[in-house]
Amino acid sequence: MTVLFLILYNIVIGVGILLLAPLLLILRPKHRRHVRERMGILPRRKGCVWVHAASVGEVKASAPLLRVIASSGRDVLLTTMTPAGRLYASTLNIVGVSVSYAPADCIAFTLYAMHRVRPSALIILETEIWPDLIVSASLYNVDIVSINARLSEKAFRGYLFMRPVMSYLLRKFKMLCVQSQEDAERFAQLGARREDIHIMGNLKYAAENTNRSSIAQEIKGLFRDRPIIIAGSTHEGEERIVVNCFLSLRKRLRTPLLILAPRHLNRLKEVEEVITHAGLALIKRSMIAPGILPDDYEIIVLDTVGELADLYSIGDAIFVGGSMVPVGGHNLIEVVIHKKPVLYGKYTETIKESVALLNGNGGIMVESEDQLCSIISDLIEHPEEVARLGEKAFAVIDHKAGTLATVTDILKKAGIV
């Protein structure tokens, strides 16, 4: 079954590339850049540690680990799947780390990438099960390690239908470092060897408060003493909820400022229409420059990559999206690392560990638009409560910050770094 699956998988992938790639390159110009990398023409880095982090969230989570590996004197190749992920990765500026797209998961491309790179190890962040990448690494006798791996109940049920294939792929891994006991059990049920599974916690608790850019303080200075509301990583339907809250707040509070950061930048036009339809004045973050005093604007739409985590440091009330609509939620740690409380909705399947820790400890789950509006108003009117809740939230995740040391120790014992 496994051999048949891999043959059919590559036929489908090959046909898909031939038929859809030209159309994708026409409709999505961002994908035209670095197309050679998608074909496996990666930088030659013989003996390096290859770290694969699919998108922005995984790249952020990997940053502390990348610094540890690079500081040990090892060259690192960091690959991503998305343009946003690659762009953010290029802002890390870690000496010894080069950035590339991962090859498309076609056996010809992945084998050629392995031939060029010849890594000593392949570290995959979270649950990126790309069959051809894993098979190619195995054929080149590369140590394959999964870091921060997790399996939701929904994903687990889906993988059960192809358990023989999953068992074959998971047994190619030298180690599976998973986030929880629950994840460990699910991977074992899919066929991973129990002796290869290590419970490490969540690497996102090792998030860095780097303040690499000065944009946060620039915006704080430009808008002086105005209270700042931030809605980060929002999805369709959530911008309307947040804007409605903002309209309600304007009736009772001194001129607040809303920073609205949609999760996907291809939705910018849609988000701007929601704002203008509400009669509010907006400015895009990319239009803010030294010398510009945008006092009259009420909403900043974040149209850049990699700045949201720093902007959370100036928020007086912060909501993280993907949680008021059935998406599953996004990273809450980026907020509490700045000693800020965080608001989120009830859809938190993908962040349930963080929610379990933070609920009642600086994390506030809201059930409705009215409740979100009410709590945002309370936080803005009671800055002393914001400070208290922020300290409480930070204490919870600071207690978990040993995850990086745990992972590093595991990798060192295995001879990976």
Kindly state whether residue 226 falls inside one of the protein's structural domains: yes
Residues 258 and 362 in one domain: yes
Q: What is the CATH number of the domain that holds 304?
A: 3.40.50.2000
Residues 230 and 183 in one domain: no
Kindly state whether residue 32 falls inside one of the protein's structural domains: no
3-state SS track over the chain? CHHHHHHHHHHHHHHHHHHHHHHHHHHCHHHHCCHHHHCCCCCCCCCCEEEECCCHHHHHHHHHHHHHHHHCCCCEEEEECCHHHHHHHCCCCCCCEEEEECCCCCHHHHHHHHHHHCCCEEEEECCCCCHHHHHHHHHCCCEEEEEEECCCHHHHHHHHCCHHHHHHHHCCCCEEEECCHHHHHHHHHCCCCHHHEEECCCHHHHCCCCCCCCHHHHHHHHCCCCCEEEEEEECCCHHHHHHHHHHHHHCCCCCCEEEEEECCHHHHHHHHHHHHHCCCCEEEHHHCCCCCCCCCCCEEECCCCCCHHHHHHHCCEEEECCCCCCCCCCCCHHHHCCCCCEEECCCCHHHHHHHHHHECCCEEECCCHHHHHHHHHHHHHCHHHHHHHHHHHHHHHHCCCCHHHHHHHHHHHCCCC
The C-alpha atoms of residue 417 and residue 410 are separated, in whole angstroms, by 9
Please tell me the total count of domains within the chain: 2
Q: Locate 310 and state its tokens.
A: 């720093």
Q: Over its length of 417 residues, how does the chain's per-residue pLDDT go in tens digits? A: 788 999 999 999 988 888 877 777 677 676 667 889 999 999 888 899 999 999 988 998 899 899 999 998 899 999 999 888 999 999 888 999 999 999 999 999 999 999 999 999 999 999 889 999 999 999 999 999 999 999 988 899 999 999 999 999 999 999 999 999 999 999 999 999 999 999 988 888 876 655 445 788 888 888 878 999 999 999 999 999 999 999 999 888 778 999 999 999 999 999 999 999 999 999 999 988 766 656 678 999 999 988 999 999 999 999 999 999 999 999 999 999 999 999 999 999 989 889 999 999 999 999 999 999 999 999 999 999 999 999 999 998 887 777 888 888 888 887 877
Residues 223 and 346 in one domain: yes
Kindly state whether residue 27 falls inside one of the protein's structural domains: no
The C-alpha atoms of residue 185 and residue 416 are separated, in whole angstroms, by 24
Q: Which residues have C-beta within 8 Å of that of residue 32, sequence separation ≥ 6?
A: 25
Residues 297 and 195 in one domain: no
Query: By residue range, what is the domain housing residue 301?
Result: 215-398
Q: What is the CATH number of the domain that holds 162?
A: 3.40.50.11720
**β partners of residue 122:** 50, 144
Q: Locate 64 and state its tokens.
A: 């502390």
Give the pLDDT score at 211.
47
pTM (two decimals): 0.84
Give the pLDDT score at 294.
62
Residues 284 and 393 in one domain: yes
Kindly state whether residue 17 falls inside one of the protein's structural domains: no
Give the pLDDT score at 31.
64
Phi and psi torsions of 361, nearest 5°: -125, 45
Residues 221 and 366 in one domain: yes
Residues 195 and 285 in one domain: no
Residues 79 and 129 in one domain: yes
Task: Give the Cα-Cα-Cα angle 409, 67, 65 (nearest 5 degrees).
Answer: 45
Give the pLDDT score at 323.
98
Residue with tokens 């339809």: 277
Residues 178 and 265 in one domain: no
Kindly state whether residue 126 falls inside one of the protein's structural domains: yes
The C-alpha atoms of residue 328 and residue 348 are separated, in whole angstroms, by 4
The C-alpha atoms of residue 362 and residue 413 are separated, in whole angstroms, by 36
